[in-house]
């Protein structure tokens, strides 16, 4: 009961107070169409992950200093949960005081804020060219015909696999191209038989693999309106759950309980493959002794669900400007770095390993190099190509609330509950809790 109340209160906090909060924010100096007053020359940016997002900001800061050296840019590290809490608290109380000019937000969470507080965010429709970014990123970053976010990193997924284990099982790189999940399970059984290694590792409290499978078929936990639960009768979700259970039943998938255990699984050589967003590449390469023993193939596809593809997404985030003093400067910073600078994206890829979703950058030299760790394969070019075909879905405002329900129902399914009953019960719970 306490957990249910927590979910309900979280939804209330996210959705409540939009009228008072958004109006106050819109009337602050610097808001679109409002009297901007004296333009500030100092902006503050919040982001998490010093080795990825903040490293990218530092490269952007250096590039922008050559364009506008008079602007002071303060980069502050905040863990993502802290960022969301502070943003929620501030906007719900009707003020942007104490908040930064630019904030990094995970794509799964963006619509909750944009729909609840649209006037609190700066309209970037005339600042960047949205069509220059991967199409699947525009849905989460826009609302009501306006572009509010500057799309950042791609969460395009790939099937990372140990070539030496696959060879021992009698398979080649060609055997891994554009496969189905059924084929993946077949290969996994052979790999387990010949090498004793698990094909995959999973955390029962992290349903990322279900997201990957669903989006590859253009489906999500919510309907196209981004609000109505889409669980009962969701063929992509049903097939994803069936595949998940089959991998456990066949003994090709092992369990881990946290991030460090997941990394240890493939770095130690105990796990033969993983399906993750391309941001996992530095973690795979962290075990230098495995250089030359890895390759990346397209994500496996569903077989029973119509429109299934071998392309999907997991994670990814984008930049947003808050309507406050300094919004114009903050927007200019994003526009001339993340929104337009091809050379910046080359350095971003070379120095940080981050693949952006700014499509003009993909023709640059950094995208044309092979990676010796992956046997000389140009995984960057492959990821960039797969990014073009990721199905666009509406993540909506309830992804994590629904996953709290699905985590429980997944365990019920694994214990023998009928799958259609699982989805029907999850649908009823979601409809009751997310009104």
pLDDT of residue 51: 87
Residue pointed to by tokens 């279900």? 210
What is the pLDDT, as a whole number, of residue 151? Answer: 97
Instruction: Write the DSSP symbol of residue 247.
Output: H
pLDDT at 9 > cutoff 80: no
Per-residue pLDDT of 333-388, as tens digits, reads 999 999 999 999 999 999 998 899 999 999 999 999 999 999 999 999 999 999 99
pLDDT in tens, 102-158: 999 999 999 999 999 999 999 999 999 999 999 999 999 999 999 999 999 999 999
Residue 29 has pLDDT above 60, yes or no: no
Please give the residue that has the higher pLDDT: either 347 or 36: 347
Position 435 scores a pLDDT of 76
- Give the integer Cα–Cα distance in Å for 276 and 156: 8
pTM higher than 0.75 = yes
| Closest C-alpha to 313, from 158, 132, 160, 111 | 158
Residue 34 is predicted with a pLDDT of 36
Q: Of residues 32 and 241, which shows the higher confidence score?
A: 241
Confidence of residue 40 (pLDDT cuts 50, 70, 90): low
- Phi/psi for 227 (5° steps) reads -130, -35
- Domains of the chain by start residue, with CATH: 14-155+317-363 (3.40.190.10), 157-313 (3.40.190.10)
Tens of pLDDT, residue by residue over 399-415, are 999 999 999 999 999 99
* Mean pLDDT over each residue of the chain, to the nearest integer: 91
pLDDT score of 30: 39
What are the CB-based long-range contacts (under 8 Å, 24+) for 256-262? Answer: 256/201, 256/202, 256/203, 257/203, 257/205, 258/203, 261/201, 261/203, 262/201, 262/203
Asked if pLDDT for residue 15 goes beyond 60, the answer is no
**CB neighbourhood size of 418 (10 A):** 11
CA gap 120, 431 in Å, rounded: 28
- Listed in sequence order, the residues at least 6 apart from 248 whose beta carbon sits closer than 8 Å to its beta carbon are 414
Calculate mean pLDDT across residues 282-298: 96
For residue 38 the two structure tokens come to 């004296």
Measured between alpha carbons, how far is 267 from 289 in angstroms, rounded to an integer? 9
pLDDT value of position 3: 42
- Interatomic CA distance for residues 128 and 125, integer angstroms: 6
The three-class DSSP label of residue 187 is helix
């Amino acid at each position: 009961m306490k957990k249910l109340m927590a979910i309900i209160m979280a939804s209330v906090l996210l959705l409540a107070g939009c009228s008072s909060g958004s109006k106050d924010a819109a009337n602050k100096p610097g808001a679109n169409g409002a009297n901007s007053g004296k333009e500030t020359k100092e902006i503050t940016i919040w982001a998490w992950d010093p080795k990825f997002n903040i490293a990218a900001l530092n490269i952007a800061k250096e590039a922008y200093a050559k364009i506008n050296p008079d602007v002071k840019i303060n980069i502050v590290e905040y863990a993502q949960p802290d960022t969301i809490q502070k943003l929620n608290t501030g906007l719900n109380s009707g003020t942007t005081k104490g908040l930064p000019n630019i904030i990094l937000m995970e794509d799964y969470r963006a619509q909750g804020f944009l729909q609840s507080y649209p006037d609190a965010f700066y309209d970037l429709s005339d600042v960047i060219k949205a069509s220059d970014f991967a199409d699947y990123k525009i849905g989460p970053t826009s609302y009501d015909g306006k572009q509010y976010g500057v799309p950042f990193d791609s969460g395009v997924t790939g099937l990372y696999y140990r070539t030496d284990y696959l060879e021992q099982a009698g398979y080649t790189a060609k055997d891994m191209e554009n496969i189905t999940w059924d084929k993946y399970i077949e290969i996994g059984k052979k790999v387990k038989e010949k090498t004793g290694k698990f094909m995959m590792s999973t955390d029962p409290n992290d349903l990322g693999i279900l997201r990957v499978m669903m989006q590859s078929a253009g489906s999500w936990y919510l309907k196209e309106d981004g609000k109505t639960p889409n669980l009962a009768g969701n063929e992509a979700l049903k097939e994803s759950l069936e595949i998940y259970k089959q991998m456990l039943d066949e003994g090709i998938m092992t369990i881990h309980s946290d991030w460090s255990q997941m990394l240890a699984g493939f770095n130690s050589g105990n796990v033969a493959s993983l399906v993750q967003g391309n941001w996992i590449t530095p973690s795979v390469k962290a075990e230098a002794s495995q250089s030359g023993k890895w390759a990346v193939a397209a994500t496996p596809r569903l077989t029973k669900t119509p429109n299934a593809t071998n392309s999907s997404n997991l994670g990814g985030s984008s930049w947003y400007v808050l309507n406050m003093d300094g919004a114009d400067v903050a927007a200019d910073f994003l526009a001339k770095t993340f929104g337009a600078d091809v050379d910046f994206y080359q350095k971003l890829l070379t120095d940080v390993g981050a693949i952006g979703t700014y499509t003009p950058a993909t023709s640059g030299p950094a995208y044309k190099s092979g990676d010796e760790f992956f046997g000389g394969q140009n995984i960057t070019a492959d990821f960039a190509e797969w990014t073009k075909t990721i199905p666009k879905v509406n993540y909506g405002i309830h992804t994590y609330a629904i996953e709290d329900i699905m985590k429980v129902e997944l365990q019920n399914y694994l214990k023998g509950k009928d799958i259609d009953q699982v989805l029907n019960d999850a649908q009823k719970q979601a409809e009751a809790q997310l009104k």
